[in-house]
Amino acid sequence: MPKLGVNVDHVATLRQARRGSLPSPAWAAREAQAAGASSIVCHLREDRRHIQDSDLATIRLAVRLPLNLEMAAHPEIVRIACRLKPEQATLVPERRRELTTEGGLNLRQGGRRLSDAVRRLSDAGIRVSLFIDPSFDSVRRSADLGVPMVELHTGRYAEVAAGAARRRELEKLKEVVRLGRKEGLIVAAGHGLDYTNTRPVAAIPEMEELNIGFSIVVRAIEVGFRRAVKEMVRLAR
């Protein structure tokens, strides 16, 4: 059974809507820890649209779980990561206008910046993972870069209609995971996984870790909204 990394970015998204202090990603990290998560994931984006620099320290203090910092191979963010020393850094592509991480890293063009980031983070004692599309080519290129771990982008698997197309994407994931293990890589997966599509990915024998954020925050609202309204109705009477 893979471990679950809980991504708390979208708790911060909600907080940033009012630029206040609630809801707190550090509180969410503590809740995730209490609920059995194996690690906490957050993405310090260059545009700081959700997680802020100060969140990194408060999340660090709030939990004893390993921190997996998602980040672009940008020199400023690499500097911050080397100072913070999360247990893991997952390098992801970042486009300013995207709503979320739309695809895996482009390892054909990642070039110098990517290999520099891998080297600097590794030298700081941080385990480096690359967020890649689930393709044989991406796995081989990741192994060539010398990283110990990859995370496969499950966006396409999650997006296609359930049925034959989804099963095809799942088979592709399985084959790519197998190749990753053969290449000596630890293999994780994430993006778009929810309460309806996670099980088959979790059942892939060699899968080490799943990283999930958005669907958990949505579910938290769905299961808690009625209670929250009831409490306010009582106060408003």
Answer yes or no: are the C-beta atoms of 90 and 70 closer than 8 Å: yes
Instruction: Please give the distance of CA 157 from its chain centroid, rounded to a whole number.
Output: 16
Q: How far apart are the first and last CA of the chain?
A: 48
Q: Does 93 sit near ligand PXP (CB under 6 A)?
A: no
Specify whether 153 is catalytic.
no
Sites for ligand PXP among residues 129-188 (CB under 6 A) = 131, 151
Find the shortest distance in angstroms from Cβ 207 to ligand PXP: 13
Residue among 26 and 188 whose Cβ is closer to ligand PXP: 188
Select from 27-35, 74-82, 109-117, 212-220 the region that touches ligand PXP (CB under 6 A). 212-220
Sites for ligand PXP among residues 19-58 (CB under 6 A) = 43
Residue among 98 and 231 whose Cβ is closer to ligand PXP: 98
Find the shortest distance in angstroms from Cβ 83 to ligand PXP: 21
Select from 132-140, 160-168, 197-205, 210-218 the region that touches ligand PXP (CB under 6 A). 210-218
Catalytic residues: 43, 70, 191
